Structure 1
Amino acid sequence: MAQNKSGYTRFENPPHVSGVDQPPAYEAAVPPNAGVPVVIPIGPPYPPPNAFGNPMYGPGVCGYPAQPYMTDPHSGGAYEQPLPYEVAMGDPGHSDAPPDYDNEQFIGSGLDNKAVRRLFIRKVFAVLSLQLAVTCGFVAVFTFEPHVKLFVMNNVWTYWVGYMVFLVPYLVILCCGDFRRKHPWNLVSLSILTLAMSYMVGVISSFYDTDIVMMAIGITVLVCFTVIVFSLQTKYDFTSCYGVLFVCLIVMMFFGILCIFMYNRILDLIYSTVGALIFTCFLAVDTQLLLGNKNLSLSPEEYVFAALNLYLDIIYIFLYLLRILGRGRG
């Protein structure tokens, strides 16, 4: 028995109470691989304290059964009877303890984990920025260098070569899911695709005036920045409209084939405007695929595929705007 600074008496070794199960010794031997010891209460909980902070004992207090108490034979003070309990051996692989969030914050392969989602978005936009920087460099060379313009106009076949080079890695990334997740071959394929697409965009830009190209670049930057920021902030789920957009894309392709055989300036402007609107909607959908909290989402390993989708959306928006501005000037 010891006395603390507040004057209350604390019992080091309370006397044994007959009829009450006492906890086993801490040094008790536990057979190996027997499981995890789990303490299971077998008695009623302690009653609530009164206004002075002391436990209220007695029969029927707040619906609790009567709690026995003991009296110290030396001082006559009362102390609470220990709550009866028993020790059971639980499953070694299961524990009721709260999870260790410091060590398990990166467990989980989906985008539900905020840290994984931020890393995934950062990686996608880093790859996208490099792709757009390469494409802008090609467009600048093909727009401001007259010798390159002259070479392209005399050798149009180089455009179709670039298209074939673009088509091979694009189909591989699109159809082979395991390949586009395999590092570094996914980045190699994406680099070849980006160079081929940048060359084709540069060739197309060389046939337009410099001021029209610069105007199309400015409008594309403004539209894409607005759409991406809005898609990341809004609560509306654009991914639920993915099927509708795909049907609109198929209809637009047939409309484009019709415009080839029935060429008309008005039809060409309508086709370019519809194409720009559809790929603007695709940009909103592909942006929300990065969030992981919508109807559709991507795996964190699909950063190459996500960057490719955003890159192609932006390029198609630029090409359709370039076509609208060029046809508008005549």
Structure 2
Amino acid sequence: MSNPSAPPPYEDCNPLYPPQRGYGQPSVLPGGYPAYPAYPQPGYGHPSGYPQPMPPIHPMPMNYGPGERAVSDNFETGDWEDRKVRHTFIRKVYSIISVQLLITVAIIAIFTFVKPVGDFVRRNSAVYYASYGVFLATYLTLICCQGPRRRFPWNLILLTLFTLALGLMTGTISSMYQTNAVIIAMIITAVVSISVTIFCFQTKVDFTSCTGLFCVLGIVMMVTGIVTAIVLSFNYIYWLHMVYAALGAICFTLFLAYDTQLVLGNRKHTISPEEYITGALQIYTDIIYIFTFVLQLVGSRD
């Protein structure tokens, strides 16, 4: 038998997909998958005397061409087509947020209703500043470092430390206000948070399409906070403090709507289903900020 003059074509050499003589190459493989898939690869001056926590760093999704939905680098568009994946991601995010809020409410209740504890944290500002350091370190680690944020159990350990630190900071601030003011601020924050969440589920308004606006709001809040802290440290001006608190409550309510829609998906910008830590971190931080600003508006200090 004579040897072939040329090597067999690639199709003849592939044992997985033998050629189908006379019918051409199939366009769809068994299971409904395309023959040549091209799926994207997943990548990746408070008046109490204490400094206000640093505003959260919101993730900025990438911009794509007109008509295309933009996603973060570690987002795979096909995931959102599966409702099960999407609903599982949302449940995971809000389950984490619920636990975080329960821990925070428990700490606030202890600092508010247990007088010896409240007196202790008011006399020892080192508790607040130590919590502030842990808050800042864990927050920046979770936001900026993909490895710890995605690697179990380090992501949950860091998130737990972050929650405890921010809870201690919020509890310390709450201990300086009257109990009625703390309760009223909690109720208002709960109503606002639930209302914003329901609104984001129902509305057709896409807050994620205004990424530039929210970036500007974040910068304005940071600059305003620095200026207000400097001014109030020299001379306390009541109306300036109230204006800053009102501005902060409004801005972080908008941030809450933005972050909620990032988690819900089906918008111009979304975050990856793998980034449940980021989603929970951002929404939880927004809620805590709303509470602290509302407490400054409605509260009178002991």
Q: TM-score with structure 1 length normalisation?
A: 0.69
Matches within 5 A, 1:101-116: 110-116=79-85
Matched, 1:35 2:18: yes
Ranked by relative contact order (alpha carbons within 8 Å, sequence separation 6 or more), the top structure is: 2
Match of 2:91 among 103, 110, 122: 122
Shift of 1:36: 5.4
Match of 2:155 among 167, 177, 186: 186
Is the helix fraction higher in 1 or 2?
2
Alignment-derived partner of residue 237 in structure 2: 264
Alignment-derived partner of residue 296 in structure 1: 269
Match of 1:99 among 13, 20, 32: 32
**Is the CA contact (8 Å cut-off) linking 1:276 and 1:317 kept in structure 2?**
yes
Shift of 1:290: 1.3
Query: What SS does the corresponding residue of 1:110 show, helix, strand or coil?
Result: helix
Q: Give the residue type in structure 2 aligned to 1:320.
A: F
Counterparts of 1:278 and 1:90 in 2: how far apart (Å)?
57
Matched, 1:150 2:133: no
Shift of 1:235: 1.2
Matched, 1:277 2:250: yes
Alignment-derived partner of residue 66 in structure 1: none
Bigger shift: 109-118 or 271-280? 109-118
Q: Give the residue type in structure 2 aligned to 1:310.
A: I
Unaligned runs of 5+ in 2: 1-11, 34-75
Alignment-derived partner of residue 250 in structure 1: 219
Measured against aligned partners, the alpha-carbon deviations of 1:11-39 in whole angstroms (never above 9, x if no partner) come to xxxxxxxxxxxxxxxxxxx999472547x
Shift of 1:177: 1.8
Bigger shift: 310-319 or 181-190? 181-190
Query: What SS does the corresponding residue of 1:99 show, helix, strand or coil?
Result: coil
Unaligned runs of 5+ in 1: 1-29, 39-86, 101-106
Counterparts of 1:170 and 1:96 in 2: how far apart (Å)?
46
Matches within 5 A, 1:182-221: 182-221=151-190
Counterparts of 2:273 and 2:228 in 1: how far apart (Å)?
40
Alignment-derived partner of residue 74 in structure 1: none
Counterparts of 1:32 and 1:112 in 2: how far apart (Å)?
32
Query: What SS does the corresponding residue of 1:193 show, helix, strand or coil?
Result: helix
Matched, 1:321 2:263: no
Shift of 1:98: 7.2
Counterparts of 2:274 and 2:95 in 1: how far apart (Å)?
15
Q: Give the residue type in structure 1 aligned to 2:261.
A: Q
Matched, 1:235 2:204: yes
Counterparts of 1:108 and 1:326 in 2: how far apart (Å)?
45
**Is the CA contact (8 Å cut-off) linking 1:143 and 1:202 kept in structure 2?**
yes
Alignment-derived partner of residue 72 in structure 2: none
Counterparts of 2:14 and 2:140 in 1: how far apart (Å)?
57
Q: Give the residue type in structure 1 aligned to 2:18.
A: G
Is the strand fraction higher in 1 or 2?
1
Counterparts of 1:233 and 1:256 in 2: how far apart (Å)?
33
Matched, 1:90 2:25: yes
Q: Percent identity?
A: 42
Counterparts of 2:29 and 2:104 in 1: how far apart (Å)?
55
Change (3 A) 1:317 1:98: same
Query: What SS does the corresponding residue of 1:88 show, helix, strand or coil?
Result: coil
Measured against aligned partners, the alpha-carbon deviations of 1:139-191 in whole angstroms (never above 9, x if no partner) come to 01000001001111211121001100111111101111232111111111000
**Is the CA contact (8 Å cut-off) linking 1:35 and 1:90 kept in structure 2?**
no
Measured against aligned partners, the alpha-carbon deviations of 1:56-85 in whole angstroms (never above 9, x if no partner) come to xxxxxxxxxxxxxxxxxxxxxxxxxxxxxx
**Is the CA contact (8 Å cut-off) linking 1:231 and 1:284 kept in structure 2?**
yes
Number of residue pairs aligned between Structure 1 and Structure 2 = 244
